[in-house]
Amino acid sequence: MISITRRKLLVSASAAVAVSSIGMPAIAASKTIKIGAVQPFSGGLELFGKQAQVGLDLAAAEINAGGGILGHKVEMLYEDNKTDPKTSVERARKVIQRDDAMAISGPITSAARDAMAGTMKRLKTPLLYATNYEGGICDRYLFSFNTVPNQDTAPLIPYLKEQGIGNSYYMFGADYVWPRNMFKAAGEMIKQVGGDALGEEYTPFGVKDFSSVIRKIANSGAKILLFALPGADGITFIKQAEEFGLMKKVTVAFLGFAETYLGAFGAGKGEGMYAGLPMVANSKEAGVQEFVSKIRKREGDDAIVSFYVMTHYNSLMAVKAGMERAGKVDKEALIDGMAGLSFDIPTGKASISAEDHHVAMNMYIGKTGGGTLNVEKELGLIEPSRQCS
């Protein structure tokens, strides 16, 4: 695990030397486009911060090896927000005002994102937000490269009913904006398929004993646990749910689940959980296999590759395409260049809405089994719901 207070990384400098001899543009050594990355490298969500970094590093290396962006080298500036909204604002301000960042990647939590929003607007700097979230943002200075509820949760709830798994839910998550708003949206989706929400509960981060809520869920009669407790706390809960036998009574629909969790629950544990997501690493799709192979060539054969890696990779590749579309290195031009952009990602075609800056892409339903995450159903391209009313 990376420990970062302030890490300034010039990605793949050796790969970014002038390559005009093979037909690609040379990069002027004095020219750089700086991208800040305000991500959690401590504080409980560092698994996701590391996944973000892996994707960003690959994208920056590929961009620099191919001649940069309009002849400019890409430099990543990593900052640890410690999974804290206040620290997120401080780090964002620093990389924009002191380091002259063109854009910022991050953060992970909705609380940190909302805290940063005012700073991004005041400093007129685009935020490249590549985490699945609850939706509802319409902002010139925010681009969402991950999913909103109609893409990841709306297909999952009817699927679980169709498969005969159940139509009664208990909703349990962390006590902050993302789980609360996700459950609000999910409650309407459950009603639409004639289901029942039998309970809803939230917990602060840092709880070590979930026995009381596990008993409530077990006694509720719910067939499905809709779960939104990310990071280390989510791992602790699932371990205790296994220990108390809850996993034999309910099926877990895990919002935000990704390969980062695999193996964390113990051998043979955490099996049979479902999620809606924009990539599954062991998919047979050629683009996904190629992407995973590139990551493991850089990071090692045992590197975890989740959709968080892909969405952060996508965000930086969109910066390249958007700036080249605009034809100049400028923040406002970058925003205009990314709005309405269509581009290729490992799972196929993607497009950024010109109106609200959210991404349409292929979606999947995944299920854990045999110690891995498998594709249960390919959903095809799903447009995000409109965020600007």
Q: How confident is the model at residue 361 (pLDDT cuts 50, 70, 90)?
A: very high
Q: How confident is the model at residue 5 (pLDDT cuts 50, 70, 90)?
A: very low
Residues 245 and 174 in one domain: yes
Residue 175: is its pLDDT beyond 80? Answer: yes
Residue 1 in any domain: the answer is no
Residue 389 in any domain: the answer is no
Residue 387 in any domain: the answer is no
pLDDT in tens, 307-343: 999 999 999 999 999 999 999 999 999 999 999 999 9
Q: How confident is the model at residue 245 (pLDDT cuts 50, 70, 90)?
A: very high
Residue 159: is its pLDDT beyond 80? Answer: yes
Q: How confident is the model at residue 173 (pLDDT cuts 50, 70, 90)?
A: very high
Q: How confident is the model at residue 31 (pLDDT cuts 50, 70, 90)?
A: confident
Residues 262 and 293 in one domain: no
Residue 192 in any domain: the answer is yes
In this prediction, what percent of the chain has a pLDDT beyond 70?
92
Residues 107 and 179 in one domain: no
pLDDT of residue 69: 98
pLDDT of residue 14: 38
pLDDT of residue 30: 52
Residue 379: is its pLDDT beyond 70? Answer: yes
Average pLDDT over residues 136-161: 98
Residues 311 and 270 in one domain: no
CATH code at position 37: 3.40.50.2300
Residue 4: is its pLDDT beyond 50? Answer: no
pLDDT in tens, 205-232: 999 999 999 999 999 999 999 999 999 9
Residues 91 and 34 in one domain: yes
Residue 253: is its pLDDT beyond 60? Answer: yes
Residues 263 and 290 in one domain: no
Average pLDDT, the chain: 93
pLDDT of residue 2: 37
Residue 388 in any domain: the answer is no
State the Cα torsion 164-165-169-171 to the nearest 10°.
Answer: -150
pLDDT of residue 377: 98
Residues 154 and 143 in one domain: no
Residue 17: is its pLDDT beyond 70? Answer: no
Total domains in the fold of the chain: 2
Residue 308 in any domain: the answer is yes
pLDDT in tens, 97-140: 999 999 999 999 999 999 999 999 999 999 999 999 999 999 99
Residue 28: is its pLDDT beyond 90? Answer: no
Residues 203 and 69 in one domain: no
In this prediction, what percent of the chain has a pLDDT beyond 90?
91
pLDDT in tens, 35-68: 999 999 999 899 999 999 999 999 999 999 999 9
Residues 300 and 376 in one domain: no
Residues 181 and 324 in one domain: no
Residues 252 and 329 in one domain: no
pLDDT of residue 27: 52
pLDDT of residue 77: 99
- Domain span at residue 140 reads 6-148+284-361
Residues 239 and 304 in one domain: no
Residue 29: is its pLDDT beyond 60? Answer: no
Rounded Cα gap, residues 142 and 46, in angstroms: 23
Three-state SS annotation for the chain: CCCCCEEEECCCHHHHCCCHHHCCCCCCCCCEEEEEEEECCCCCCHHHHHHHHHHHHHHHHHHHHCCCECCEEEEEEEEECCCCHHHHHHHHHHHHHCCCCCEEECCCCHHHHHHHHHHHHHCCCCEEECCCCCCCCCCCCEEECCCCHHHHCCCHHHHHHHCCCCCEEEEEEECCHHHHHHHHHHHHHHHHCCCEEEEEEEECCCCCCCHHHHHHHHHHCCCEEEEECCHHHHHHHHHHHHHCCHHHCCEEEECCCCHHHCCCCCCCCCCCCEEEECCCCCCCCHHHHHHHHHHHHHHCCCCCCCHHHHHHHHHHHHHHHHHHHHCCCCHHHHHHHHCCCEEEECCEEEEECCCCCEEEEEEEEEEEECCEEEEEEEEEEECCCCCCC
Name the least confident of 25-39, 122-136, 253-267, 356-370: 25-39
Residue 288: is its pLDDT beyond 80? Answer: yes
pLDDT of residue 389: 79
Residue 306: is its pLDDT beyond 80? Answer: yes
